[in-house]
Amino acid sequence: ANPSLLILAGDGIGPEVMNEVKRIIDWFGAKRDLAFDVSEDLVGGAAYDKHGVPLHDDTMAKAQSVDAVLLGAVGGPAYDNLDFSVKPERGLLRLRKEMDLFANLRPAQCFDALADFSSLKKDIVAGLDIMIVRELTSGVYFGEPRGIHMEDNMRVGINTQRYTEAEIERGARAAFELAMKRNKKLCSMEKANVMESGILWRDVVTEVHRDYPEVALSHMYADNGAMQLVRAPKQFDVIYTDNLFGDILSDCAAMLTGSLGMLPSASLGLPMANGRPKAMYEPVHGSAPDIAGQGKANPIACILSFAMALRYSFDQGAEADRLEAAIETVLADGARTADLMGPEGGVPLSTTQMGDAILTALDAS
């Protein structure tokens, strides 16, 4: 049977950028003999409109049964005043939680043609291709005790950084597996100098390393890591870090490369019976209500998310390379959606025209 994909396009520009991904998926079926069983369903505001909930139970069950989920984006002004329990974001959170997607992969990849877009000097970022693996389901965002309490007539805000060995280990395994598929280089970031959880983190990652002797492992304090990411990001390949540090470091790394319209992500869980990890792929950006319905959205973040699916769910690294190379080609040829244009302007491509350009480059590959 063909591998199965569930597409949840969502709201705003979600369906617009996902349309281009669907054309790319069709291309792989027709031209590379790589067909997928694609099904589609609703998430976010679109699901709320139909079902009164941002994710229907049937959709949740489908997501659990497919090989990979591709998600567009959720949310928008029409849903801003809904009760918290049915907000579009809750659909996304439910997917992440029930699929137990504990490893969040955020690549920071700088296409040469866009190096001028970086917040940094061109030579520091040109050719950059790193991957941050952020632990997503534990740590200080979830640890107990938490709350705001009274102590000696003063309010005290409390959060707890808490990690079990098992939590550190499963994320570490995901990061090492990734390192094996890339350049066999992994840097683990924590603050073992001041945090108990950091000491345990370093310990467990070192233990897991025994199963991956081919990977060159290094450890770095996360504050130094932030500095090094800005000073010389190309020294890294895969970075493994906790939920809080990963939140900050991945946003920092994202700005090394430029536009939000270019950034993909993956969230992975435990291996399923067929050996593939539970997985959801989505662009980092949201539903962009300011440009929704105008055909202006850049589809590349969503297309690159599909490339990640090819690489990390379907072991089609060469085909993922092909797709990324096609994107590199069209950018080098000057193809730009509006978000990729500087103040000098010009006539931007529409979402569909960018999709056309990438398909043409794929045909020529």
- List, as residue ranges, the binding site for Mg(2+): 223, 247, 251
- What is the H or E stretch that residue 97 is in? helix 88-98
Phi–psi pair at 160, nearest 5 degrees: -125, 125
Residue 261 binds ligand NAI, judged by CB under 6 A: yes
Closest CA to 92 of 287, 301, 296: 287
Which three-class secondary structure state does DSSP give residue 239? strand
Residue 95 binds ligand NAI, judged by CB under 6 A: no
Q: Is 141 a catalytic residue?
A: yes
Measured CA to CA, the distance from residue 345 to residue 113 in angstroms comes to 16
| Residue 75 interacting partner from Mg ion, ligand NAI, none (CB closer than 5 to 8 Å by kind) | ligand NAI
Binding positions for substrate: 96, 106, 134, 223
Residue 301 binds ligand NAI, judged by CB under 6 A: yes
Measured CA to CA, the distance from residue 292 to residue 294 in angstroms comes to 6
Q: Is 191 a catalytic residue?
A: yes
Q: Is 251 a catalytic residue?
A: yes
Q: What is the DSSP string of 261-306?
A: GG-EEEEEEEE-TTSPEEEEEEESS---TTTTTTT----HHHHHHH
CB atoms within 10 A of CB 275: 7
Residue 355 binds ligand NAI, judged by CB under 6 A: no
Q: How far is the CB of 240 from ligand NAI (least distance, A)?
A: 22
Residue 91 binds ligand NAI, judged by CB under 6 A: no
Instruction: Give per-residue burial for 246-258: e unless 16+ CB within 10 Å, then b.
Output: bbebbebbbbbbb
| Residue 298 interacting partner from ligand NAI, Mg ion, none (CB closer than 5 to 8 Å by kind) | ligand NAI
Instruction: Please identify which of the residues 11, 242, 247, 339 carries the catalytic annotation.
Output: 247
Binding positions for NAD(+): 76-89, 286-298
What residues line the site for Mg ion (CB under 5 A)? 247, 251
What residues line the site for ligand NAI (CB under 6 A)? 13, 17, 73-76, 89, 92, 260-261, 282, 285-291, 297-298, 301, 339
Task: Please identify every residue annotated as catalytic.
Answer: 141, 191, 223, 247, 251
